[in-house]
Amino acid sequence: LPLPEKSLIARIRRQSKIWPGVAASIGDDCALLKISPGHEALITTDFTLEDVHFRREWHPPESVGHRFLARGLSDIAAMGGKPVAAFLSLALPAKLSQSWVDRFFMGFRKLADRYKVTLAGGDIAQSPQKILADIMVVGSVPRGKAILRSGAHPGDFIYVTGRLGGSAHTLRELIAGAKCKPSTHSRHFFPEPRLVIGQFLRAHNLSTSMIDLSDGLSTDLAHICDESKAGTKIFSSAIPRAFSEKSGKSKKTGEANQVSLALALHGGEDYELLFTTSPRTRVPKQIAGVPITRIGEITRGKGILLVDENNKTSKLKPQGWEHFS
Amino acid sequence: LPLPEKSLIARIRRQSKIWPGVAASIGDDCALLKISPGHEALITTDFTLEDVHFRREWHPPESVGHRFLARGLSDIAAMGGKPVAAFLSLALPAKLSQSWVDRFFMGFRKLADRYKVTLAGGDIAQSPQKILADIMVVGSVPRGKAILRSGAHPGDFIYVTGRLGGSAHTLRELIAGAKCKPSTHSRHFFPEPRLVIGQFLRAHNLSTSMIDLSDGLSTDLAHICDESKAGTKIFSSAIPRAFSEKSGKSKKTGEANQVSLALALHGGEDYELLFTTSPRTRVPKQIAGVPITRIGEITRGKGILLVDENNKTSKLKPQGWEHFS
């Protein structure tokens, strides 16, 4: 391989912290994970493909590394779990610079260290042209306490964390040719997985079901409906829309500065959490500094109903987030 | 996506058996695995790349699916573990036929069912041209009982299961243009991961260290030396060479029919096990019908010494298996 595979693995191994919970690590046939007594293992996998999930001309390598891990951590958050270890498989083109790979790992490692996630294994291969990365994140959750998609009941209230549509709005700007600084568009370039909130909801037994918003509200809400065999009604005026982070100089505040309802309903990759609670459950207005907003309720029906500002009800079709379309 | 991703996932889900040990499965944010009390989790990941690990014109799809899973199962075997679940990520070219995908899963599923491995999750994406698959296999092993690469001591005996070089020999024939039937060249097309042997050695506390032979004897033995901080001496006459499975009609038996010593020393992908034992340990001549052969011992030195038939000793350099070179 033109890329110095062995030395790359050796370097990653040296630079990576081994947090408690991992025994044998990179360098044996398997990684050995200690799942605490009374806990279950959570496992999630995600592909990240160049020109599908990121573009080299738009996304600095640190952002690619961060977002790549954030997707997996967000899945762990959505079950109320604690991440333990990550395994990553990389297919890299031969002509990729060493500095790109180094900066990618810098972004990856910074997020991994913040949540004490050990990079416990992986594989590197050469790809013909494009960067392709597959990640697996392992977490743990107390036995029987994972928050599934299937636990919502008719009458339950629906909540979301944070504000929606911000990541998709930045992507629209990038597609339109705008320059977006990672520092001012952090919800797109460096999304924060809501691990603290997921663990809080689980520890306090607040939610009946949960999912992370990676494919967009309409699509992820449909997943909750499918798995819980129920319908939902949401209110357009209640949906917390992200403030558009302007690329230009002029900055206004207030309503005019919010992203469109369409982006808040269908835009993906916000990595906020959507959860349901019994109507008797008291839910804090904020958790870990992040606003929690009630947007609707679970119904006996089928599918998603959207109630607009004039109290008119229409069917909302899940649109499925396509990253660069 | 031109490939019907959703229906493909739905179909895989329907066709896959959920074995005990897996709770929530495909269809939630994470898979939820129950690791038995007193057990640790084993995790291994492997890339399988078209034109690196297989060729569509040589390998029937069933063989690609089988070998893809066998690589991961072999890693679990090498720790003395029991496989529990597999997660697979596939990047498939748009023009790939549905029948190829179906037959790939048939090969995968047949091996998975034999060892009660649940396909518990995964991801599908489109690739520009070539098939790329990443697998993660999760297993379990009683706490503190995993057989590591690092446990070999000077004086320990070295054993291998089965016969070596058979898979590489078939590959040489394929490269030379020969037609090799999967039925008569099964060690290459349908290698059997040595799970039963690995678990036997672990259950009876027979081995001090273990590795699976995926990169070739010389390379994998070097891994044992590196991790155990020791050297080895092996005897060329003791190495059990595979019988060459002739592609033509004439079949001879005996010495002439064995693969070359070079292939047995350096050929990869046999997926046999190499393990070390204390010299006082009695090792059965066969385990689960597979011959067990002593090939040398661990030394205080560094690196690998090869003793030839005339008792002459030379240094053996790990050659690193490159699949199609």
DSSP letters, A226-291, are HHHT-EEEEEGGGS-BPBP--SSS----SGGGBPPHHHHHH------EEEEE-TT----SEETTEE
Mean pLDDT across B135-151: 93
Which residue in chain B is spatially nearest to A150 when comparing CA positions? Answer: B28
Sort out which chain B residues have CB atoms less than 8 A from A127's CB and list them: 49, 132
What is the mean predicted confidence (pLDDT) over A251-269?
81
Q: Higher pLDDT residue, B196 or B8?
A: B196
Asked if the Cβ–Cβ distance from B121 to A211 is below 8 Å, we say no
Q: Give the residue from A325, A312, A151 showing the smallest Cα distance to A223.
A: A151
CA nearest A50 in B: which residue? B127
Scanning every residue of chain A, which has its alpha carbon at the shortest distance from the alpha carbon of B214? A29
**Per-residue burial over B200-227, b = 16 or more CB atoms within 10 Å of its CB, e = otherwise:** bbbeeebbbbbbbbbbbbbbbbbbbbeb
Asked if B40 and A47 come within 8 Å (Cβ–Cβ), the reply is no
Separation CA B252–CA A145 (nearest Å) = 63
pLDDT of residue A10: 65
Assess whether pLDDT exceeds 70 at residue B324: no
Residue A7 confidence class, pLDDT cut points 50, 70, 90: low
Selection from B92, B185, B189, B196 nearest residue B134 by Cα: B92
ipTM score for this prediction: 0.83
**For residues B174 and B181, what is the distance between their CA atoms, to the nearest angstrom?**
10
B322 three-state secondary structure: coil
B40 contacts in chain A (CB < 8 Å): 23, 32-35
Q: Which residues 6+ apart lie within 8 Å of A4 measured at CB?
A: none
State mean pLDDT over B227-232: 96
The rounded percent of chain B whose pLDDT value lies above 70 is 88
Confidence band, pLDDT 50/70/90 cuts, at residue B218? very high
pLDDT attached to residue A3: 39
Most confident segment among A2-16, B127-141, B270-284: B270-284
**Each residue's pLDDT tens digit, B86-115:** 988 888 898 999 899 999 999 999 999 999
Q: How far is CA A304 from CA A162, A219, A241, A296, A317, in A?
A: 21, 10, 19, 10, 7
Whole-number mean pLDDT of chain A?
Answer: 89
CB contact under 8 A, A79 and B32: yes
Q: A35, B32: Cβ pair inside 8 Å? A: no
- Give which of B28, B46, B73 to mutate to test A binding, by max A Cβ within 10 Å: B28
Query: Are B221 and B100 in contact, with CB atoms under 8 Å apart?
Result: no
Q: Which of B13, B30, B39 to mutate to test the interface with A (most CBs of A within 10 A)?
A: B30
If one compares A264 and A98, the residue with the highest pLDDT of the two is A264
Average pLDDT over residues B300-307: 95
Distance from CA of A190 to the nearest CA of B (A): 21
In this predicted structure, the answer to whether residue B22 has a pLDDT above a threshold of 80 is no
8 Å CB contact between B170 and B180: yes
pLDDT for A9: 62
Residue B25: pLDDT over 80: no
Half-sphere exposure of B81 (CA within 13 A, CB side): 36
- The predicted model gives A268-282 an average pLDDT of 97
A106-150 tens-digit pLDDT: 999 999 999 999 888 877 888 878 898 999 999 999 999 999 999
Q: Has residue B122 got a pLDDT over 80? A: no
Give pLDDT tens digits for A279-320.
999 999 999 999 999 999 999 999 999 999 999 999 999 987
pTM value > 0.90: no
Using alpha carbons, select from B240, B248, B239 the residue that is nearest to residue B184.
B248
- Confidence class for position A227, pLDDT limits 50, 70, 90: very high
Shortest CB distance from A24 goes to which of B24, B52, B148? Answer: B148
What average pLDDT does range A73-86 have in this prediction?
95
The 10s digit of each residue's pLDDT in B45-94 is 888 889 888 999 999 999 999 999 999 999 999 999 999 999 888 888 98
Query: From start to end of B39-162, where are the E strands?
Result: 39-49, 82-93, 118-127, 132-142, 157-161
pLDDT at A35: 83
Closest Cα in chain A, distance from residue B147 (Å): 10
